[in-house]
Amino acid sequence: MSHTAAVAAVDLDETGWLLDADNGEPVPEHRLHHYFKESLAPPTWATDILVYVHGWQTSPSSALRTAERLLALVRDNAATAPARYPALVSGGFNPWCVVVRWPSSSLVTPAGYRTIRDRAHAMGAPSGIGHAAQILGRLLGYLNAERADPGGAPVLANRDGQYLHLVGHSFGCRFLCEAVQWASDAQLGDTLGWSTGGLSPSLPFTVDSMLLFQMAARRDAFLSLFPYILAREGHDGAPLRGPIVATYSRHDRATGFWHLRAEQQPGIGHSGIGAAPAPMFTTRLLPLDESYPLSALNHRFVNIDASDVYVRGRRLNPAGSHSDHVRPESAHLLLTLANYSR
């Protein structure tokens, strides 16, 4: 593990298995919980726990810097205009972030994009050689357990007021979706538990929000790849309490031009979530001086059109604005989700 004051990092190998930061070797399965507890104990000062998984063409150092930049924007927004987030003012807001890093670099070509697409699929698959879903699912379960107070009042935040938010970019969004889906059905004793009517005496906590920046997956992914992320037959609830919010931009060529040729349809990051197992709401990414009404985000699936904001890319970059999500407007959206989680 490496960390700064508010950011910690864990690393996965090409199969999605957790690597020991001290020696670079895979952590034995029987030591996973101990390793999490030893290396990733949420600090007592944290009010909100964020799990961030990066996307394509991101080095380990860049992944850490991206999370730091996003957190800096979040803090700046919260300090500059606290009145926009009244629940955070009354309850306090001090985020701590875990960055999940994985080998995502390739040539910046269509062939390179397909290589990482295939690797992400193989790493995230819940069966076969893919372990990312299991590792991330157990990480979420660990973080969930650490903030839980089973003997306390049945509220959605524990006695320290900690909330759990998932933030992904590009292919990292797929890992998070696979992890939540896998964890919800696993019987290992250290993964996310299902809620009953939103609350359960033994596991009263669930994921409070999921924010997916420029997701690299088919528009029908929530039917074809993640059909059980909201509910599974035989269970009374879901591990996601809050909404699934996905940004998209018509300037994102990675999930537009390239994804169209790789999978015969544009990706979510270019055109938004398409068919889904629950009603959809679409709105635009708002500037800092506009507040999101609860009615805009109080849905199971929310598409956020960021085409007027996510426009930048390096000159002649074939990925377009795919990585232009580290913006004050993105921090505003993240803060709003945290605010409504209260």
> For the chain, what are the domain ranges?
2-341
Query: Angle 110-124/171-185 helices, nearest 10 degrees?
Result: 10
Q: What is the pLDDT of residue 315?
A: 52
Of the candidates 282, 326, 322, 328, the residue with the CA atom closest to the CA atom of residue 305:
282
Pairing of strands 2-3, 7-12: antiparallel
Cα separation of 290 and 96, whole Å?
26
Q: What is the pLDDT of residue 228?
A: 81
Which of the residues in the chain have pLDDT under 50?
1-4, 150-160, 193-205
Provide the pLDDT for residue 339: 93
Nearest-Å Rg of the Cα atoms of the chain is 18
Q: Tell me the C-alpha distance between 175 and 168, whole Å.
A: 8
Q: How far does CA 107 lie from the centroid of its chain?
A: 25
Q: What is the pLDDT of residue 155?
A: 37
Q: Residue 30: CA atoms inside 13 Å, Cβ hemisphere, count?
A: 0
What distance in Å separates the CA atoms of residue 105 and residue 115, rounded to the nearest whole number? 9
Distance of CA 147 to the CA centre of its chain: 18
Query: How far is Cα 73 from Cα 4, in angstroms, rounded to an integer?
Result: 16
Q: What is the pLDDT of residue 198?
A: 42
Do the beta carbons of residue 98 and residue 162 sit within 8 Å? no
Question: What pLDDT is attached to residue 202?
Answer: 41
Question: Cβ–Cβ contacts within 10 Å for residue 269, how many?
Answer: 33
pLDDT of residue 5: 64
| b/e 247-259 (16+ beta carbons within 10 angstroms → b) | bbbbbbbbbbbbb
Q: How many angstroms from the chain centroid is the CA of residue 198? A: 20
Beta bridge partners of 52: 99, 167
| 132-147 helix and 110-124 helix, angle to the nearest 10 degrees | 60
Look at residue 233 in the predicted model and tell me its pLDDT. 55
Interatomic CA distance for residues 245 and 303, integer angstroms: 6
Whether this model's pTM surpasses 0.85: yes
Q: What is the pLDDT of residue 237?
A: 54
Whether residue 56 contacts residue 71, with contact meaning beta carbons closer than 8 Å, is answered with no
Structure tokens at 103: 């080998």
